[in-house]
């Protein structure tokens, strides 16, 4: 007789880099909250190439608490990679992510779990309405969140909050790569998970260590936003984007060229060569750019049609 596999109610995925000091306190805090609420749970610590004693601490925690699990990378790959690997390893019906620096409070776990399991949200994102970060971090964050709301149409106040909750189906469907962890709500929306909620959560001051993120993350964040928006809209039909722009550019160049040609033949009395006109080069450049854009769309279409994922469509239900 096969042994019945117990499925935990909650899987907590916690990516970390050099957070050895905070891990014991965080683990004890999570255990206290889950035990008090009678939750079955698992904690997955994803060590993203730490150079301190983080992995040794995780092994010690595993020895004293069977709910603790760990995955260690050989080098630092980034938060997106840690989350993607953690998501693949989860078994719980509800998956909650949080940072390892104790700035996310485990006291939020019960309400996040309720919003997913009882209120039917696909994804709930935390909103650190009152922050303890310096202005050099909070002001760029407001611009970043505003731009993401505008481009994605998702009305969240804090896209980059590490404290989020998901239906298991969501994280088993999406793929997080590069530095796309900031845009998991956007990725989930493009995958068809549209019931996205938000919860005001407590933000605590960092107790140990130092922040691992600098101002460069905002530059990278905006570039990633353009990438994910383009892929979501045109990933399977690149010709609709490049072909439309290319056709428009070529048409503008062609009709401009036609205009200056007619003007030269019937109205120009100076005898100047057509190639001496600035408009000639503008028209020629527009036609060349238009042709190149159209060609880019054609090549993108050929690549998309050759992709093994070209017919991967997400089915919500079947009867």
Q: What is the mean pLDDT of the chain?
A: 84
pLDDT, tens digit, 9 for 90 and up, residues 127-168: 988 776 666 666 777 777 887 888 788 889 888 889 999 999
Q: Domain 10-234 in CATH: superfamily?
A: Spore Coat Polysaccharide Biosynthesis Protein SpsA; Chain A (3.90.550.10)
| DSSP annotation of 180 | G
Which of 125-129, 216-220, 278-282 holds the top average pLDDT?
Answer: 125-129
Over residues 196-220, the mean pLDDT reads 72
- Looking at per-residue confidence, does 81 or 222 come out higher? 81
Over residues 210-237, the mean pLDDT reads 65
CA angle 127, 128, 132 (to 5 degrees): 170
Q: How much is the pLDDT for 201?
A: 92
As a whole number of angstroms, the distance between CA 96 and CA 116 comes to 10
- CA distances in angstroms from 209 to 18, 205, 246, 288, listed in the order given: 8, 11, 51, 55
Which of 51-65, 231-245, 267-281 holds the top average pLDDT?
Answer: 51-65
pLDDT of 242 > 60? The answer is yes
Using pLDDT thresholds of 50, 70 and 90, give the confidence band for residue 218: low
Q: Where are the domains of the chain?
A: 10-234, 238-306
pLDDT, tens digit, 9 for 90 and up, residues 161-170: 899 999 999 9
As a whole number of angstroms, the distance between CA 174 and CA 25 comes to 31
Give the other-Cβ count within 10 Å of 25's Cβ: 12
**Contact predicate 15/86, CB 8 Å:** yes
Which two tokens mark 127?
Answer: 């909103």
Any idea which residue has 């953690």 for tokens? 86
Over residues 80-104, the mean pLDDT reads 93
- CA distances in angstroms from 144 to 124, 159, 181, 198, 254, listed in the order given: 19, 9, 14, 17, 40
Q: How much is the pLDDT for 276?
A: 78
- Looking at per-residue confidence, does 2 or 82 come out higher? 82
Using pLDDT thresholds of 50, 70 and 90, give the confidence band for residue 10: very high
- CA distances in angstroms from 164 to 101, 226, 262, 281, listed in the order given: 15, 23, 63, 54
pLDDT of 270 > 80? The answer is no
Over residues 290-312, the mean pLDDT reads 74
Q: How much is the pLDDT for 232?
A: 64
Using pLDDT thresholds of 50, 70 and 90, give the confidence band for residue 1: very low
Which pTM value belongs to this model?
Answer: 0.74
Which residues are paired to 10 by β-bridges?
41, 94
Q: How much is the pLDDT for 2?
A: 44
pLDDT of 35 > 80? The answer is yes
Crossing angle for the helix pair 135-152 and 216-234, nearest 10 degrees? 10
- Looking at per-residue confidence, does 198 or 131 come out higher? 198
Query: In terms of Cα–Cα distance, which of 11, 57, 33, 68 is closest to 208?
Result: 57
Q: How much is the pLDDT for 269?
A: 67
Using pLDDT thresholds of 50, 70 and 90, give the confidence band for residue 228: low
Using pLDDT thresholds of 50, 70 and 90, give the confidence band for residue 312: low
Q: How much is the pLDDT for 151?
A: 79
**Contact predicate 280/258, CB 8 Å:** no
């Amino acid at each position: 007789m096969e042994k019945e596999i117990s499925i935990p109610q909650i899987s907590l995925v916690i990516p970390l880099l050099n957070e050895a000091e905070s891990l014991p306190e965080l683990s004890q805090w999570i255990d206290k909250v889950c035990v008090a609420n009678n939750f079955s749970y698992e904690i997955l610590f994803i060590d993203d190439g730490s150079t301190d004693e983080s992995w040794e601490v995780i092994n010690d925690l595993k020895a004293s608490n069977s709910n603790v699990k760990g995955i260690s990378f050989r080098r630092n790959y980034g938060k997106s990679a840690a989350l993607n690997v953690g998501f693949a390893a989860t078994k719980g019906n509800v998956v909650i992510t949080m940072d390892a620096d104790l700035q996310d409070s485990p006291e939020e776990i019960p309400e996040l779990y309720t919003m997913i399991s009882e209120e039917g949200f696909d994804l709930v994102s935390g909103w650190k309405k009152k922050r303890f970060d310096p202005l050099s971090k909070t002001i760029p964050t407001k611009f970043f969140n505003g731009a993401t709301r505008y481009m994605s149409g998702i009305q969240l106040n804090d896209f980059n909050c590490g404290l989020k909750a998901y239906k298991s189906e969501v994280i088993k469907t999406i793929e997080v790569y590069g530095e796309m962890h900031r845009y998991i709500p956007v990725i989930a929306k493009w995958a068809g998970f549209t019931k996205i909620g938000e919860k005001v959560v407590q933000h605590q001051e960092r107790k140990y260590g130092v922040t691992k993120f600098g101002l460069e993350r905002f530059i990278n964040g905006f570039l990633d936003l353009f990438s994910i928006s383009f892929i979501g809209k045109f990933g399977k039909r690149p010709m609709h984007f490049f072909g439309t722009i290319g056709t428009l550019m070529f048409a503008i160049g062609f009709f401009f060229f036609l205009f200056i040609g007619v003007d030269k033949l019937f109205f120009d009395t100076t005898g100047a060569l057509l190639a001496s006109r600035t408009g000639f080069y503008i028209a020629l450049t527009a036609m060349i750019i238009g042709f190149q854009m159209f060609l880019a769309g054609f090549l993108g279409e050929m690549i998309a049609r050759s992709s093994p994922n070209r017919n991967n469509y997400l089915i919500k239900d079947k009867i």
